[in-house]
Structure formats: C-alpha cells, structure tokens
Amino acid sequence: MSNILIIKHGSLGDIAQACGAIQDISENHKDDEVHILTTKPFFDLFKKNPHVSNVILDKRLSRFNLLYLYLLMKNIKKFKFTKVYDLQNSSRTSFYKKILFPKATKEVWSSTETTLPEGTIKQDFDKDPVLSRFDHQLKCSGINTNHTLIPNFSWCTSEISQIKNYYQLEKYIILFPFCSPHLTSKKWPYYNNLISLIHEKAEDKFKVVIAPGPDEIKEASSMNAICVLDKGKALDISQLAALIKDSSFVVANDTGPAHMTAHLGSKGIALFGAHTTAHKVSVERENFKALQVSDLSKLSAEKVFERLSRSLSEN
C-alpha cells in the first residue's frame, strides 16, 4: 500500500468541480491511501469525502515564512508519497514541486505542466474548460476518468430538516445575489426586481430564500426574501449544499454556489456577463444552464424570470 497525495486548495466552486477528479483518482488507487492537501475553509468538508483517507492542512502562509514552509514540507515528506496529483495547478503548488520532487515527471507529479499537450503553452491550455483540463491531466497520468467530466458533489450534504422546518420550507427558489467585493463585475443588480416578479406571478407556489455567507448577512437584510441562517449564523458548506439540493430552482451569479448547484444536479441558471464564459468554467449541466450577456446591467429581471418560469414548467 502506497500513500497518494491530491492537492486542492479552493475556492468553493473549484472544490465542487474537482470532486469527480478526486473520485477517479481514488478509484484508480483502491489499494492505496489517498490524502488531500487543502486549506482551512475546506479542511472539515474533505473529512466527509468518502474518497479521501486523510486531510492535511495547508495554511498557505507566505513562502517567505521559512519556519512554516519547513514544517509543512516536513509533514508532507513523512508520508513518503509515491505520487502527487496537483489539481490546483498554481504557482504555489509548482513551488512545492520544486521542493518536494524537483525532477519529477508526470509518473510521480501529475500537473498541468507535467502533462501539457505537446506544442502547447500553459497560458493557452488554461483557456480550455476546467473539467476538460482535469480530464486531460488525469488521462495522461494513467487514470481512467469515469467521473471527472461529471462531478457529483452530493457527498457533502448534511441533515437540515430542523432548519427547513423552522423556515417552513417546502417548495422554494434560492437566489445568490452576492459576490466577492473585488469581483463586482460578476454581480447582477436586479435581484429585488426578480423577487417582486416571483411573488407577483408565481402565485405563492414558491418561497424565495437567500442564504448569505458570514460577510453577506447585513447585505441580505435589504432583500425581500427569507434569509436562511442557522441560529443567526451563516450555513456551513454542507448545510448550504443540502439547501440547494432540495430546492426547486436556483438563480446565482457566477460564484461558488452556482458551481455547487451545477454539480449537485439541481435546477437553476447562472448569470454571466463579459468576465468569462460558462463554457470555460464548465458550469453548464443537464439541469443547470447559463444566461450569458455582454453587460449584466442590461439583463432585465423579466428575462431572467422568463427563463426561470420556463424551466419550472418543464417539471
């Protein structure tokens, strides 16, 4: 039995996307112990992943913090990993390779760089869809990819019947109107207008809910929707996944919850402006689609409601 390492730091959407690749790696190493190196926000979450034996914490402190770097590398080396699958493919993880396996080829260290298609530079390869890149990387590393292109994030859900009973949630639509402060180009500005249309035209068939993160609770108070919390605190990732899984429909900006919805198999749409394309970030699934426009400020609430109502009528 050998020890195998997967590196996946985040973000939330990236974690949802990578779970198919992680499953494929695990299933191709049935006689080995599969470990994952991740960051604090996803440390407890990965402990629930049935395809991972052990979770190693990377605090991602500065590379100039030599004491931390020494202790992290010492901790990793003690497992004597025979193969590393770098699913983060960042400058940081490339730096780790130079320390741990400086001369390793794809047989020992699987990454974008070690499996790059001949005649292609990494900058061009990174323009391909995320899941296609994972698929290429793993196939070049000898992995049969049965799940990489169809991730299933359902393993992360938790029991939330108490929360749903408290808010009397049966049929409900979830909106994710938030985004990171430095990514405002992803933010569609007309969620309150959409809420009004749902209340007016859906004839009270659906409750409208939002599930803000810890830093979004104050902003959520300006929305005319049910703000779902757990005893006053933001839902954790597993609770949020369960809320999405049980929903009738999701409308989201291009953020982590959109990617969670896509890979939980739930119905919904993600709203894309000019910042990227749904194709590149591999968000569209059978039940989850994208509405792409050149300018999100010109996408009307009526247009989004039309897509929402059309999808709900297909039930």
In a domain, 42, yes or no: yes
- For 102, residues 6+ apart whose C-beta sits below 8 A from its C-beta are none
Same domain, residue pair 131 and 210? no
- For 30, residues 6+ apart whose C-beta sits below 8 A from its C-beta are none
From 104, 125, 152, the end of a domain falls on: 152
In a domain, 147, yes or no: yes
- For 27, residues 6+ apart whose C-beta sits below 8 A from its C-beta are 51, 144, 146, 147
How many structural domains does the chain have? 2
Which amino acid, one-letter code, is at 134? F
Same domain, residue pair 132 and 188? no
81, 5 Cβ separation under 8 angstroms: yes
From 130, 152, 174, the end of a domain falls on: 152
From 152, 172, 203, the end of a domain falls on: 152
Same domain, residue pair 116 and 231? no
Alpha carbon distance 314, 304 (integer Å): 16
134, 115 Cβ separation under 8 angstroms: no
DSSP state of 142: T
Alpha carbon distance 133, 154 (integer Å): 22
255, 13 Cβ separation under 8 angstroms: yes
In a domain, 157, yes or no: no
Instruction: List C-alpha distances in Å: 232 to 12, 214, 241, 297.
Output: 22, 10, 18, 32
Instruction: Return the pLDDT at 315.
Output: 60
Which amino acid, one-letter code, is at 46? F
Same domain, residue pair 112 and 177? no
In a domain, 71, yes or no: yes
DSSP state of 56: E
Alpha carbon distance 192, 42 (integer Å): 31
In a domain, 65, yes or no: yes
In a domain, 221, yes or no: yes
Pick from 219, 199, 221, 209: nearest CA to 305: 199
CATH number at residue 28: 3.40.50.2000
Instruction: Return the pLDDT at 119.
Output: 84
Helices (H) and strands (E) in the chain, counts: 12, 11
In a domain, 102, yes or no: yes
Same domain, residue pair 191 and 269? yes
Same domain, residue pair 178 and 289? yes
Q: DSSP of 200-236, one letter per residue?
A: HHSTTSSEEEE---TTTHHHHTTSSSEE--BTTB---
In a domain, 169, yes or no: yes
Question: What does the block give as tokens for 238?
Answer: 């597993």
Same domain, residue pair 237 and 260? yes
* Cis peptide bond upstream of 111, omega within 30: no
Q: pLDDT (tens digit, 9 = 90+) per residue, 83-105?
A: 999 999 999 999 999 999 999 99
Same domain, residue pair 141 and 203? no
Domain that holds residue 144: 3-152
Which residues of the chain fall below pLDDT 70? 315
Same domain, residue pair 138 and 167? no
Pick from 176, 198, 195, 196: nearest CA to 187: 176
Same domain, residue pair 124 and 203? no
Same domain, residue pair 139 and 115? yes
Same domain, residue pair 242 and 101? no
